[in-house]
Structure 1
Amino acid sequence: MEIAQEKSIYKKAFLWNVVGSMFNSIASLVLLLFVTRICGDYSAGIFSLAFATAQLILAIGRYGMRAYQATDVNESIEFSSYITSRLVTCIMMILSSIVYIIISDFSKEKGLIIFTICILKMVDAIEDVFHGLLQQKNRLDIAGKLLAARNALTIIVFIVILFLSKNLFLTCFFTAAISIIFCLVINIRYTYKIKQIKFNFSFLPLRKLFIDCFPLFIGTFLSLYIYNAPKYAIDKYMSSEFQTYYSIIFMPAFVINLFSEFIFKPLLTTLAICWNEKEIKKFNGIIIKLFMIITTITIVVIAGAYLFGIPVLSLIYGVNLHEFRQDLIILLLGGGFGAGVYLLYNVLTSIRKQMSVLIGYLLVAIFATVFSPIFVHIDELYGASISYLTSSMMLFTIFLCILIYNIKRIS
């Protein structure tokens, strides 16, 4: 009876995690599509760079806590401390975005758009702490529903305002404001059914959270920096139109991450329990199956993209991408390794190997900082694609070696 009930819970969590993650992942793709169609390639390039920057600064807002919170199966830290820490990190996120915009000396238009999109992405950080609690309580199904609802509203509001105003800044500003209000209303309502919502400014639990998750925060930040390094190199050496082209052909790589995340996110708590209870055979079996699924998804997506990817993307976005077929395939292969990295990152977090994660990201971040500009300067978009693939392969290799070492150590 318990096994049947566990399977039922997993199926519901899997289904709604798929729906929620799908809406969350396609949001940026759909928004870029309408910006490209309504405002043109140049504005879409600014939007793409702003979105990448906001995604990077979002790492401050999330502080790498989601996997840590979801796998805190013994509830060593109260939810009140988690939500208080999120208030602090969101304030840090906004201040960081202002500092970044000032020191980067962007034009007024680009600076305002980056700031408003950072506010919009802060919504992800706000809801993440509520969804971490729901996942911890095996209610990922509710989290998926809320994630889908919020992203659906964001997409609709953004498209309507952009269509009526033709102004990217006003669109981002009003979409961000409406999304924050909607996010708070629906998440607070459902979370109250599980746990009382209150702030706890006690020093010790907050200190423990920020210290324990610091390697995860830095690792996540460096991860996003590594994957966005080619975009910053493109912004330095090429025009905004090429930023748009790269972003469009990069989008399908998210498909691999998206479908992979569908599979493994509901299993993170199970993996943490297996590790804590020394069920290493079951732990290894789950990870091997997940790697096989990621490999299969990667092969299928690459095959489909080779045959239909460029014509379909050119048709959808209304731009000529036919010279970038090779770049698309390279990015998709990098996306496959990237999905493997994301899986290993979550597994290493669930077994509390945060420092090992940080070391891996530091090494590859140094590589990306040095070589991404060189690759782009020499080979333009092809160089950007090679940079992304190389960084993903390096991270995957390092994380896999760390996991194997830790498994052998306790076996």
Structure 2
Amino acid sequence: MKIKAFLLKDQKIERDSFIWNMAGSMLMAFQSVIMLMILTRTLGLKDAGIFTIAYANANLFLTVGKYGMRYFQISDMKGQFSFVNYRMSRVVSSLAMMVTAVLYTAYAAMSNGYSAEKTQVIVWMCLFKVVDAVEDVYHGFYQNQNRLDVGSKCMTLRIGITIVVYGMGLIVFRNQLVSLMIATVLTTGLFVLFTKWTIGAFDVVKEKVDWKQVFALLKVCFPLFAGAFLSFYIGNAPKYAIDAMLTDELQACYGFIAMPVFVIGLLNNFIFNPMLYKLSMMWNDGRVGQFVRKILLQSLIVAGITLVCIIGAFLLGVPVLSWLYNTDLAPYKAELLLLLLGGGFLGLSGLLNAVITIIRYQKSLMWGYAVVALLALVCSNRIVGMYGMMGAAVLYTLLMAILCVIFVGLFAYGVMKQKKTL
């Protein structure tokens, strides 16, 4: 089959890994943007607000499904855990994801007075995203085998086709829930098909699941999961506060102006994600100085990307976003610029999260996230209730800045301790 041959083609692995990781990351980041853009034009601002909180919830619970394991799996160069046990651990975490999502959604529906449709949209959005969790463990294995290109091609095709079908569903049925159900069934089928075509190209040891190893893996990665979960809670704390204190329409507007924030992390991932394999090798080989220089260079790249995005948003941000979402966003220009500054801190904290995992200081990550999450829990509703959208923007930026400061300290400590042992 031509598609199967395309997915497994390996003439220039490094180049294809970069290109298809960039394409897949872009589609993943802009998936909600495109879906929201079509939704706003076909159904209106209220439905867009429901989508925004549903997508935020689904991504929060996706951290339960992924369990923060990707960076650990990629950097497991010595084969501490087998793929069979990685895969079973993902089955466990994905089931936990859906149980948690359903229980939380039922609680939120009763507490905030959700309609039946809003409740169903949130649950189906979580089902839609659980495919990402299961797919991630296969693609982590491919990347560990230095074939990031295969996983990236699969992800790009799956997400691209799914977005098109979701958009067509909205136009034809004029119903968000029906369109989401169709997209969920389709994306599941594509994942199963693409995985069946590609997994056979890799040397997967046929062995029984070792439940002791599965639980040991879940235990060792628990700090990564806790950190990832708290990270998404921190990033979405303004949305939860808006959901509790303001309206679905303002939720939609916040979602619109927050969209460019993820561009910074996206552009950083284009460059950084393909480097993870080499960085893991550098650290394992004891090339600490070279490792640190690479991280410093990438940090400067994040700063440069942030500055360019802020300048671009100052000049063109409001008119472009207003046109994209068919909504007047002129009153929120200051909030947009402030959120982009927070996006720079988000990009840097994501970079530091990965490298702290590579140097195996992941337990410390959890406590850094916990401190900032506690601040978010205590302050979010009060700040957003008092200052509205500006309060949400200030809250986001401050939380991300504090997180960065903590992670810089953890990284510096880990590197200095390693140098003393060499």
Shorter-chain-normalised TM-score: which range?
over 0.9
Aligned residue among 75, 82, 104 for 1:100 = 104
Q: Does 1:61 align with 2:65?
A: yes
Asked whether the 8 Å contact 1:191–1:197 carries over to 2, the reply is no
2:166 to 158, 171, 176: 158
Residues 1:295 and 2:299 are matched in the alignment: no
Alignment match, 2:154? 146
Which residue among 49, 52, 71 is the counterpart of 2:53?
49
What is the match of residue 326 of structure 2? Answer: 318
Q: Which residue of 2 aligns with 1:18?
A: 22
Deviations 1:309-336 (A, max 9, x none): 0001001110010000000000000001
Quick one: distance in 2 between partners of 1:300 and 1:101?
A: 38
Does the aligned pair in 2 maintain the 1:94–1:119 contact within 8 Å? yes
- In structure 2, the residue matched to 1:27 is 31
- Distance (Å, rounded) in 2 between the aligned partners of 1:378 and 1:269: 46
Cα distance between partner residues in 2 of 1:12 and 1:271: 19
Q: Percent identity?
A: 37
Kept in 2, the 8 Å contact 1:83–1:199? The answer is: no
Equivalent pair of 2:89/2:215 in contact (CA under 8 Å): no
**Within the alignment, does 1:180 sit opposite 2:188 as a pair?**
yes
1:405 aligns with 2:416: no
3-state secondary structure, aligned to 2:256: helix
Equivalenced residue count is 405
The alpha-carbon deviation at position 92 of structure 1 amounts to 1.1
Matches within 5 A, 1:2-13: 9-13=13-17
Residue 3 of structure 1 aligns with which residue? none
Q: Deviations over 1:123-163 (max 9, x none)?
A: 11011011101110111111111111011011011001111
Shift of 1:201: 3.0
RMSD of the TM alignment (CA)? 1.4
2:250 counterpart of 1:242: yes
2:226 aligned residue: 218
Which residue of the partner structure matches residue 81 of structure 1?
A: 85
Instruction: Pick the aligned partner of 2:284 from 276, 279, 283.
Output: 276
What is the match of residue 385 of structure 1?
393
Equivalent of 1:254, from 239, 262, 269? Answer: 262
8 A Cα contact 1:62 1:128, kept in partner: yes
**TM-score, normalization: structure 1?**
0.96
Select between 135-144 and 243-252 the one with higher mean Cα deviation.
135-144
- Residue aligning to 1:338: 346
Compute the displacement of 1:20 (Å).
Answer: 1.0
Is 91-100 or 128-137 further displaced after alignment? 91-100
- Segments of structure 1 that go 5 or more residues without pairing to the other structure are 1-7
Alignment of structure 1 residues 131-142 onto 2, 5 Å: 131-142=139-150
Deviation at 1:197, TM superposition (A): 8.0
Residues 254 and 389, structure 2, Cα contact 8 Å, conserved in 1: yes
Deviation of 1:200 (Å): 4.0
After superposition, the Cα gap between the structure-2 partners of 1:199 and 1:107, relative to the gap in structure 1 and judged at 3 Å, is: farther
Q: CA deviation at 1:195?
A: 3.2
TM-score by length of 2: 0.94
Alignment check: 8 A CA contact 1:84 1:200 kept: no
Which residue pairs with 2:5 in the alignment?
Answer: none
For 2:75, give the aligned amino acid: T
